[in-house]
Amino acid sequence: MTHSARPRPLGDLRILAVEQYGAGPFGTVHLAELGADVIKVEDVRTGGDVGRAVPPFQQGDDSLFFETFNHDKRSVVLDLANDAGREVFHDLVRASDAVYSNLRGDVPAKLGLRYADLAHVNPRIVCVSLSGFGMTGPRRAEPAYDYILQGMAGWQALTGDPDGPPTKSGLSLVDYSGGLVAALALLAGVHAARRDGVGCDCDTSLFDTAMSMLTYVAAWTMAPGSTYEPERLAYSAHPSIVPFQNFRTADGWIVIVCAKEKFWQRLIDVLGIAHVRDDPRFAGFAARRANRAYVVATLQDAFATRTTADWIAALTAAGVPCGPINDVRAALADPQTAARGLVTETEHPAFGTASWIASPVRVGDPPAHHRRAPQLGEHNRVVLRELLGYDDARVRALRSRGAFGAKRLMPYEEPSSG
Backbone angles phi, psi at 253, to 5 degrees: -135, 155
Vertex 378, ends 347 and 408: CA angle to 5°? Answer: 125
118-122: list long-range contacts, CB under 8 Å, 24+ apart: 118/90, 118/93, 118/199, 119/199, 121/90, 121/93, 121/94, 122/93, 122/94, 122/96, 122/199
Strands 62-63 and 126-131: unpaired
- Asked if 238 is an active-site residue, the reply is yes
DSSP bridge partners of 257: 244
CA R_g for the chain: 26
Is 385 buried (19+), middle (13-18) or exposed (0-12) by CB count in 10 A? Answer: middle
DSSP string, 354-377: EEEEPPS---SSPPS---PPPPTT
**Residue 270, CB-side half-sphere exposure with 13 Å CA sphere:** 23
Is the four-CA dihedral 102, 105, 111, 113 of positive or negative sign? positive
In three-state secondary structure terms, 264 is helix
DSSP E strands in 219-287: the ranges are: 244-248, 253-257
223-232: list long-range contacts, CB under 8 Å, 24+ apart: 230/154, 230/157, 230/158, 231/162, 232/157, 232/158, 232/159, 232/160, 232/161, 232/162, 232/164
Q: Which of 71, 90, 191, 238 is flagged as catalytic?
A: 238
How many helices (H) and strands (E) in the chain? 18, 13
For residue 80, what are the contacts with CB-CB under 8 A and spacing of at least 6? 18, 41, 43, 86, 89, 111, 112
Neighbours of 144 (CB within 10 A): 21
Q: Which positions are annotated as active-site residues?
A: 238
